[in-house]
């Protein structure tokens, strides 16, 4: 029992010796935690107008919105995803002034602005164009 008390006293004495401050020593300043530092917020990107609509857009379409209204749109295709009735065309729209996702089954008519040709099914056209590019 006495050995345990002596051992405990030695441990406490050692801890005191290791943690004591010298006379006149100033403690080091405590740094602020990283959470307290404010992270700068990214500024919102303004909607951008393309330079020339005749050169910037690939297609002119007539699109039926979800509420049933029909609106003409000028779009530049970015990519497509899905197949069949679930085909979606991800593109940049001049009227929306930004990226939009269009359902292929809601595109009522389409015209290629570069060639002037009418396109029956824009989704199939985009798939065929992508297949030709990947075959090269």
Confidence of residue 69 (pLDDT cuts 50, 70, 90): very high
CATH number of the domain encompassing residue 104: 2.30.30
Confidence of residue 51 (pLDDT cuts 50, 70, 90): very low
Answer whether residue 14 is part of any domain. Answer: no
Domain span at residue 63?
54-125
- Per the structure, the count of domains in the chain is 1
Answer whether residue 58 is part of any domain. Answer: yes
CA distances from 100 to 75, 78, 95 (A): 9, 10, 10
Tell if the pTM clears 0.75, that is, is over it: no
Given a cut of 80, whether residue 62 has pLDDT beyond it is: yes
Answer whether residue 25 is part of any domain. Answer: no
């Amino acid at each position: 029992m006495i050995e345990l008390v002596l051992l405990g006293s030695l441990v406490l004495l050692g801890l005191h010796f290791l943690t004591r401050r010298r006379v006149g020593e100033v403690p080091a300043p405590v740094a602020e935690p990283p959470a307290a530092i404010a992270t700068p917020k990214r500024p919102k990107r303004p909607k951008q107008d393309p330079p020339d609509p005749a050169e910037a857009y690939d297609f002119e379409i007539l699109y039926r919105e979800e509420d049933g209204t029909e609106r003409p749109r000028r779009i530049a295709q970015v990519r497509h995803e899905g197949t069949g009735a679930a085909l979606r065309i991800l593109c940049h729209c001049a009227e929306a002034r930004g990226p939009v996702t269009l359902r292929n089954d809601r595109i009522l008519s389409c015209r290629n602005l570069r060639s002037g040709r009418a396109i029956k099914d824009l989704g199939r056209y985009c798939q065929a164009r992508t297949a030709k590019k990947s075959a090269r």
